[in-house]
């Protein structure tokens, strides 16, 4: 059985998760989609599903209860380097707070505005997960 890359949608907004999952439907044969409502739940899912053998893309909201996006990123800094390299993170946020944008840049994490579009998602999948997601 071939292991598929994983896309983890992390957002406390159920509608945002649903819309992102719909945008991922054309890639259903190439990715496994998981969802989490906050950073804590995302860390639990990654502990169970993420592997250094297969890349994982996390589409991460910033403002969430329990553990926010920056809390998730802080926890990720404590992972072993190989595991950290296998889990790529892209922030997807409606935030227009300059300090949050600056903090994301300092952490080296790309930040995209909500809502995601099909074209933006296709570009992110290609950039983060590689040639199997070549743009048409």
**pLDDT tens, residue by residue, 67-125:** 999 999 999 999 999 888 899 999 999 988 999 999 999 999 999 999 999 999 999 99
- Residue 26: domain span: 6-130
User: Residue 134 above 70 pLDDT?
Assistant: no
User: What does the block give as tokens for 38?
Assistant: 């906050």
Residues 6+ apart with CB under 8 A from 57: 5, 6, 7, 8, 88, 89, 90, 124, 125, 128, 129
| Domain assignment of residue 70, yes or no | yes
| Domain assignment of residue 135, yes or no | no
Task: Write down the pLDDT at residue 99.
Answer: 93
Mean pLDDT of 4-29: 95
CATH classification at residue 124: 3.40.50.2300
pLDDT in tens, 29-52: 999 999 999 999 999 999 888 777
Tell me the three state secondary structure of residue 88. strand
Q: Is the pTM of this model over 0.85?
A: yes
Domain total for the chain? 1
Task: Write down the pLDDT at residue 130.
Answer: 85
- Band (pLDDT 50/70/90 cuts) for residue 10 is very high
| Domain assignment of residue 21, yes or no | yes
Contact by Cβ (8 Å): 92, 61: yes
């Amino acid at each position: 059985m071939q292991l598929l890359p994983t896309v983890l949608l992390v957002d406390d907004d159920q509608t945002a998760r649903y819309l992102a999952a719909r945008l991922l439907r054309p890639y259903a044969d190439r990715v496994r989609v998981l969802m989490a409502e906050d950073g804590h739940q995302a860390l639990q899912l990654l502990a169970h599903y993420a592997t250094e053998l297969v890349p994982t893309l996390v589409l991460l909201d910033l403002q969430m209860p329990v553990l926010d996006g920056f809390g998730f990123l802080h926890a990720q800094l404590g992972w072993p380097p190989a595991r950290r390299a296998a889990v790529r993170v892209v922030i997807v946020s409606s935030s227009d707070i300059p300090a949050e944008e600056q903090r994301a840049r300092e952490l080296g994490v790309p930040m995209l505005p909500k809502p995601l579009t099909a074209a933006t998602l296709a570009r992110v999948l290609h950039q983060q997960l590689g040639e199997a997601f070549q743009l048409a």
